């Protein structure tokens, strides 16, 4: 029995016993099962990431310079944060295509607040709340209109980006107090490592635990595994959808706050195509579009693979026009490998 099937089974037993199915206690941790699941979902993509770094670093040793590796990792932070939230949506058979537009809108909101005199650190909670509201709006429209989240978030992608462009009057928002600690600390380094990477590490730890070890994570996986069975067993599908898409909006807003600190300006044109890269990172990292499972660590590794590929093309002096081609090839290879592994696993069983 899979972990998601266990979650549905637990909820069903609680319902039959007259308890609250939304408050079933998580099953006792089994180290061996957890290790097998981690090995399957994450070690493979981490191995690919290591081999890719080695393949570039052997002919070009400068690529392995600590400064370059930290810069490459930092370049993946914004996509990585979006992918962390996207894992929860994909794991329950939802998708959030609005993250690119939400990222730009949150960035503009934060920049406008700072320019109008709000302390930068106080603008951050407003940005995070804005991201949550955008995610909740996606979920409510999806639920009320009974439309696929793919269609709804495709519309809100353009809606949020349009609002950001309108608020910024189509121009970059500058004249911010760059000497403030928000820009010097959050936009700089801490202990020799970009501050954004420390934030990413904290988010990965929190969300990996949330997906694997909390009731919310069990509900997400149960709904993605079998939505009808999850609803029948009493799992609050609508509430979980709202929570998952709100989380996606929150991680997107977190990425926007870090981008504001790093770039020191609010550019409403940023974030174009980020939604597809975030989804690609999740798929590369082992989160299938079919739902039922996901890996936060794998999604971040997938985002870093995309960043390493882009950086590697520069070292190999490949024209920048081939970046999209290489990224598409990596995605196709990852999907094909996942399909082969699934078929092999079914034959062994």
* Digit-coded pLDDT (tens) for 298-341: 999 999 999 998 898 888 888 877 877 877 787 777 667 666 76
pLDDT in the model for residue 333: 76
Distance from chain centroid for Cα 27: 26
- Whether 282 contacts 294, CB under 8 Å: yes
Identify the three-state secondary structure at position 58: coil
CA distance 187 to 262: 4
Enter the tokens of residue 340: 């082969």
Render 98-167 in DSSP notation, one character per residue. THHHHHHHHHHHHHHHHHTT--HHHHHHHHHHHHHHHHHHHHHHHHHTT--HHHHHHHHHHHHHHHHHHH
Q: Give the single-character DSSP code of 28.
A: P
Distance set, CA 274 to CA 18, 102, 279, 313 (Å): 45, 10, 9, 19
Give the lowest-confidence range in 25-39, 104-118, 226-240, 302-316.
25-39
Q: What is the pLDDT of residues 194-209, one digit of tens each?
A: 999 999 999 999 999 9
- Please list, in sequence order, all residues whose beta carbon lies within 8 angstroms of the beta carbon of residue 348, skipping any fewer than 6 positions away: none
- Please list, in sequence order, all residues whose beta carbon lies within 8 angstroms of the beta carbon of residue 189, skipping any fewer than 6 positions away: 195
């Amino acid at each position: 029995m899979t972990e998601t099937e266990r979650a549905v089974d637990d909820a069903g037993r609680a319902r039959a016993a007259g308890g609250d199915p939304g408050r079933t206690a998580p099953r006792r941790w089994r180290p061996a099962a957890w290790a097998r699941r981690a090995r399957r979902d994450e070690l493979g993509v981490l191995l690919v990431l290591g081999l890719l770094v080695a393949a570039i670093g052997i002919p070009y040793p400068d690529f392995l310079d600590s400064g370059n590796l930290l810069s490459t990792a930092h370049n993946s932070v914004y996509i990585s944060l979006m992918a962390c939230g996207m894992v929860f949506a994909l794991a329950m058979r939802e998708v959030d295509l609005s993250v690119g537009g939400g990222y730009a809108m949150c960035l503009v909101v934060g920049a406008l607040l700072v320019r109008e005199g709000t302390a930068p650190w106080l603008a951050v909670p407003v940005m995070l709340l804005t991201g949550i509201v955008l995610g909740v709006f996606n979920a409510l429209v999806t639920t009320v209109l009974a439309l696929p989240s793919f269609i709804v978030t495709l519309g809100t992608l353009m809606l949020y980006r349009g609002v950001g462009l309108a608020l910024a009057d189509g121009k970059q928002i500058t004249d911010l107090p760059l000497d403030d600690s928000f820009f010097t600390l959050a936009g700089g380094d801490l202990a020799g490592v970009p501050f954004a990477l420390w934030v990413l590490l904290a988010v990965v730890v929190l969300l990996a635990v949330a997906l694997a070890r909390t009731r919310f994570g069990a509900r997400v996986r149960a709904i993605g595994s079998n939505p009808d069975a999850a609803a029948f067993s009493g799992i609050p599908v609508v509430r979980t959808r709202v929570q998952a898409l709100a989380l996606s909006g929150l991680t997107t807003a977190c990425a926007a706050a870090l981008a504001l600190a790093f770039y020191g300006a609010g550019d409403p044109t940023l974030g174009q195509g980020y939604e597809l890269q975030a989804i690609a990172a999740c798929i590369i990292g082992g989160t299938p579009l079919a739902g039922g499972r996901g890996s936060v660590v794998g999604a971040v590794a997938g985002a870093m693979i995309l960043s390493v590929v882009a950086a590697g093309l520069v070292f190999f002096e490949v024209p920048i026009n081939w970046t999209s081609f290489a990224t598409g090839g990596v995605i196709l290879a990852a999907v094909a490998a996942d399909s082969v592994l699934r078929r092999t696993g079914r034959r062994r069983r």
